Amino acid sequence: MILAKVIGTVVSSQKDQKMEGIKLLLLEKIDPVTMKGKADYVVSMDSVGAGVGEIVFYVSGSSARYTNTTEGKPTDSTIIAIVDFIEKDDAYTYQKDKQ
């Protein structure tokens, strides 16, 4: 799974019928040490109610369809978790409420 920051939302009205009713978020991959964006973006389906500004991680490929929200949907990227803490070498590099 890849760590990323939710930086926006994506709206599409003309789309595949199976994409109806699914929240699409714009994610920027982040370096978990510096917490800086890597200018590498992806559109991801949201299955956990993530909001803009939050740090998440998403699953790619066929596994992206194995959540209740995205079962049978044509997605290859689904957010499966909102991150509370990232710990590296016994130090927090990210704490959700400390932002």
Partner 1 sequence: MTLGIVVGTVVSSSKDEQIQGARYLLIDKCNQQGEKKGDYLVALDIVGVGPNEMVMISEGSTARETMVTKNKPIDALVVGIIDIIDENDIIVYKK
Which of 79, 29, 28 is closest to 49 using CA atoms? 79
Size of the site for partner 1 (CB under 8 A): 33
Strands 77-82 and 85-88: unpaired
Q: Is 25 in the site for partner 1 (CB under 8 A)?
A: no
- Tokens at 30, concatenated: 């982040």
Confirm or reject binding of residue 64 to partner 1 (CB under 8 A). yes
The answer to the question of residue 1 lying near partner 1 (CB under 8 A) is yes
Between 23 and 65, CB nearer to partner 1:
65
Question: Nearest approach, Cβ of 13 to partner 1 (angstroms)?
Answer: 27
Near partner 1 by CB under 8 A: residue from 16, 20, 89, 97:
89
Measuring CA to CA, which residue among 91, 76, 90 is closest to residue 24? 76
> How far apart (Å, rounded) are the C-alpha atoms in residues 91 and 68?
34
Q: Is 83 in the site for partner 1 (CB under 8 A)?
A: yes
